[in-house]
């Protein structure tokens, strides 16, 4: 219930996504008692407040899964801006991996997928070859779509 209330109150007010991510990593690391590293490189990507909230919520749900299901000893969060202006956000852990039966009743996974679709992006969840899980969100910020429309060549008819 506490997590649900936190989700409803969550806002990024003037602090920016990088600071919100640092606060999130600190919160989840403290709650789970495991180290969580953070690597953020968003120079060149401009996200709307709505995109920031959806991305942050997806990462929070992925970290919640790490704490509640993975039995991990360490996790990593990485958020970066690609050369094309797209955003990639990844949560990786060294836990037990995803079990096939987990998806049937895991509403968090469905919510993450819906948020990714709302961003026009895609979410991938994969078991790693050794141990652990990687959750990746990839999307093109709306401001990038708008910029592409503005600079499109106009062809006379």
The pLDDT assigned to 2 comes to 46
- Tokens linked to 149: 């429309």
What are 32-36's contacts with CB under 8 Å, separation 24+? 32/66, 32/67, 34/66, 34/67, 34/72, 34/73, 34/74, 34/75, 35/74, 35/75, 36/63, 36/66, 36/74, 36/75, 36/76, 36/77
The pLDDT assigned to 5 comes to 41
The pLDDT assigned to 113 comes to 94
Distance CA 37, CA 44 (A): 22
Positions of the chain with pLDDT lower than 50, given as ranges: 1-9, 102-104, 146-152, 157
* DSSP state letter for 119: T
Task: Tokens 């401009």: give the residue.
Answer: 46
The pLDDT assigned to 97 comes to 85
The pLDDT assigned to 72 comes to 95
The pLDDT assigned to 3 comes to 45
Distance CA 72, CA 66 (A): 7
The pTM score is 0.81
Domains and CATH numbers, the chain: 2-149 (3.30.565.10)
């Amino acid at each position: 219930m506490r997590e649900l209330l936190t989700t409803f109150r969550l806002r990024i007010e003037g602090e920016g996504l990088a600071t919100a991510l640092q606060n999130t990593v600190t919160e989840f690391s403290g709650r789970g008692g495991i180290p969580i590293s953070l690597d953020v490189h968003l120079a060149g990507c401009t996200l709307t407040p709505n995109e920031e909230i959806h991305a942050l919520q997806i990462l929070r749900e992925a970290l919640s899964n790490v704490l509640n299901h993975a039995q991990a000893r360490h996790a990593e969060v990485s958020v970066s801006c690609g050369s094309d202006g797209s955003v990639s956000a990844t949560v990786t852990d060294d836990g037990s991996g995803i079990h096939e039966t987990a998806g049937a009743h895991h509403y968090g996974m469905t919510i993450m997928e819906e948020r990714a679709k709302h961003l026009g992006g895609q979410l991938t969840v994969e078991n790693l070859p050794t141990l652990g899980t990687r959750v990746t969100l990839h999307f093109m910020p709306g401001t990038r779509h708008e910029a592409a429309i503005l600079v499109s060549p106009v062809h006379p008819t």
